[in-house]
Amino acid sequence: MIQYVWLVPLFPLIGFLITGLGRNTLGKSSGWIASMAILASFIVSCIIFFDVQALPENVFEKGGGPVIVQLFDFIKTQSMQIGFDFQVDALTSIFLLVITGIGFLIHLYSISYMGHDDGYGKFFSYLNLFIFSMLLLVLGANYLIMFIGWEGVGLCSYLLIGFWYKNVAYTDAAKKAFIMNRIGDLGFLIGIFLIFSRYNTLDFKSLQFLISHDTYDATFISSVALCFFVGATGKSAQLPLFTWLPDAMAGPTPVSALIHAATMVTAGIYMITRSHFIYSIAPYAQHVILIIGLATALIAATIATQQNDIKKVLAYSTVSQLGFMFMALGVGAYTAAIFHVVTHAFFKALLFLGSGSVIHAVDGEQDIRHMGGLKKYMKTTYATFLIGCIAIAGIPPLSGFFSKDEIMMHVFTYPIYGNIFWVLGMLAALMTAYYMFRLLFITFHGEYRGKGHPHESPALMTIPLIVLAIFSALGGLIGIPEVLGGHHALHEFLSPVLLKSTGMNANVNHLSHESEYILMGVAVLIAVIGILIAWFGYKKYNAAAEAKGIASFFEQKWYFDEAYDNIIVKPLYHISSFSEKVIEKSGLDGIVNGIGKMIQLGSTRLRLLQSGLVGFYLFLIVIGIVLLFALQLLYNKFL
């Protein structure tokens, strides 16, 4: 079946074409067509997943690697050959499952959520295109195909964030997302150029071989690693390019779920994990990733504690959780990062769809200060949302606990200030538990403070919630650590992909069982403390107090947007209009026009020479001859 992996992206592509071309004629059926396309992809992905499980050891014994499926030549000249090829291995197959599985649930949910929207057909065609691009990204067998998918998700996020195009603020958010991503893309591209100029190929498989057999050039490898990381900060919303993600909630809520959980933001994690053969020998770059990841996790968490928009809290929570994943990548714990990608995909999709259900119930209100007491009205949504909160807070045995714990364990054993990173990471974890339960209590507990009569959402919306809640609760089972008697299935599954390049930082997990127990206990304790603070602060929440001091600083998102606006955007436009007025119009064009004027002026003078007096002409001829002779003399003498 692996040879037919192209079916996986083909279905969404067909779905995109059908729903896109028939957006005016298909009516409500386009939602079902789009969903079925993703379901078909999901089924194929499942089969491939099992095929891959049967595969890796055999392939590796033969000295092979991932299965490459060649489709056609994309760029083919004597100096550059890049195929449109797909690659399937354990890492790919996990992402295929997450993308199509969660993608399918989000599609189902959208059928009901977007039911009354004018752009119903268009919406589903974009969703399918989004899934297609993301699949291309994870299936590509070389950096170019990956980059195609990479830009594709950027495009789709642009189209979907600005879906309600009449609102200028929304289209601004869409533009911002695309441009911030493009800044990162430039880094990614330069990394690709670097790689290609040295190795003349962009295939992962060949590169892994070439790099491991190349003389070690620290500057080169670090440059590549950092360039790629710049790309990752754009797509995965890390410092300093994270500000687009919270704005991206301008799009319909299912889109937020798609962007934050199944697609898009996980692209950076995937890309770095896929490039593990570069990062494992680039310790400086890894260190940078660790620091950026930690800083993002902390800053985003502080912002999340002060937001009052239900989707904004979740958005900053995503940024913060992505920071955790990057910390894992920074210490070389790729499996832990992927583990957290998977569990996070479950509970973040759940939370976003849950928030959509809430927003749907209260007539489009997103401000949690005007909600409250909703658990009475919408029991399913409340129960599933609660599971999501517990999972993200890191309370065992729900999924978030295992993945976050694994990351923190690796951070703790990191040889350079690992314990300090651990403490700071735990601070972010504390805030995570706090802001999630603050959100839960303000939204669902207390008395209802809004207008109208909230109601539970239809089954088409609650069923995906229930499914996702089950996965959020049980998802951790795929990675139960040995110390708790498990055998970490995910780690075993991924090990053929990642085993070959264990760098200096990877797998330094030499903790004794006792210390592991202690770290776990502390982690759980911290989560409980966070929840308790939220409980005492917000169990009987009634009206918001004005945020003061540092809290207001957090509420204003550390003034990142304002700073970018004043440091980059405004000066850019000032320089541009200045250049237009001064350099372009007066300077360059002035010179051109000036030369023209001078010639005109000169010719009015020269015209006087055409006097018609033969004597004057003769005089000039004589002068001319003399000059020619003089020139000839000079020429003979000096040259």
Partner 1 sequence: MLIVLLILVPFLAGLAAMAMPSSKVHIHAIGASVLTLVLGSVCYYYFTHPGMGETTFSYPWIEKLGASFSVAMDDGLTVLMVMLTALAFPLIFISLLNKIPDRPSTFFGLMLMAQAGLMGVFLAKDALLFYLFWEVALIPVYFLSSMYGGPRRIPVTFKFFVYTFVGSLIMLVSMIYIYQQTPIHSFSWSSFVSVGQSLPSNQQNWLFWMMFVAFAIKMPVFPFHTWQPDAYEQSATPVTIVLSALMVKMGLFAVVRWLLPVIPLGSMHWMNIVMLLSIIGVVYASFMALVQTNIKRLIAYSSIAHIGLMCAAIFSHQIIGMQGVAIQMFNHGINILGLWILVSIIEHRLNTQDMREMGGVAKIAPAFTIALVLISLANIALPLTNGFIGEFMMFNGLFNSVSPYRTVFTVVAGLGIILAAVYTLGMIQKVAYGELKTSTSSFKDLSKNEWVVLIIVMFIILWLGFYPSVLMKLVDVNL
- Binds partner 1 by CB under 8 A, chosen from 168, 543, 545, 608: 168
CA-wise closest residue to 90 among 60, 128, 63, 62: 60
* Residue range at the interface with partner 1 (CB under 8 A); choices 183-191, 278-286, 356-364, 617-625: 183-191
Helix (H, G, I), strand (E, B) or coil at 72: strand
In terms of CB distance, is 59 or 148 closer to partner 1? 148
Least separation in angstroms between residue 639's CB and partner 1 is 13
In terms of CB distance, is 76 or 376 closer to partner 1? 76
In terms of CB distance, is 79 or 215 closer to partner 1? 79
396 upstream amide cis, omega within 30 of 0: no
- Binds partner 1 by CB under 8 A, chosen from 158, 270, 279, 382: 158
Give the amino acid at 6.
W
Least separation in angstroms between residue 82's CB and partner 1 is 9
- Give the x-and-dash track for 572-611 against partner 1 (CB under 8 A): xx-xxx-xx--xx---xx--xx--x---------------
217 binds partner 1 (CB under 8 A): no
151 binds partner 1 (CB under 8 A): yes
425 binds partner 1 (CB under 8 A): no
Q: How far is CA 230 from the centre of its chain?
A: 11
Q: Which residues pair with 80 in a beta bridge?
A: 77
Phi, psi torsion values for 447, nearest 5 degrees:
-105, 150
Segment 240-243 long-range contacts (CB within 8 Å, at least 24 positions apart): 240/560, 241/180, 241/181, 241/183, 241/184, 242/296, 242/300, 242/319, 242/560, 243/176, 243/180, 243/557, 243/560, 243/561, 243/564
Helix (H, G, I), strand (E, B) or coil at 344: helix
- Binds partner 1 by CB under 8 A, chosen from 152, 251, 332, 450: 152
In terms of CB distance, is 11 or 163 closer to partner 1? 163
Q: Binders of partner 1: how many residues, by CB under 8 A?
A: 50
72 binds partner 1 (CB under 8 A): yes
197 binds partner 1 (CB under 8 A): yes
Tokens of 58: 């055999």
In terms of CB distance, is 75 or 518 closer to partner 1? 75
116 binds partner 1 (CB under 8 A): no
Tokens of 164: 């309600």
73 binds partner 1 (CB under 8 A): yes
Tokens of 199: 């190795």
CA-wise closest residue to 410 among 514, 323, 336, 326: 336
CB atoms < 10 A from the CB of 552, how many? 11
617-to-563, 609, 612, 631 alpha-carbon distances in Å: 72, 9, 8, 21
In terms of CB distance, is 161 or 290 closer to partner 1? 161
Q: Which segments within 451-564 are labelled E, that is strand?
A: none
70 binds partner 1 (CB under 8 A): no
165 binds partner 1 (CB under 8 A): yes
Tokens of 198: 């040295």
Contact residues for partner 1, defined by CB under 8 A: 72-80, 144, 147-148, 151-152, 155, 158, 162, 165-166, 168, 171-172, 174-175, 178-179, 182-183, 185-186, 189-190, 193-194, 196-197, 572-573, 575-577, 579-580, 583-584, 588-589, 592-593, 596
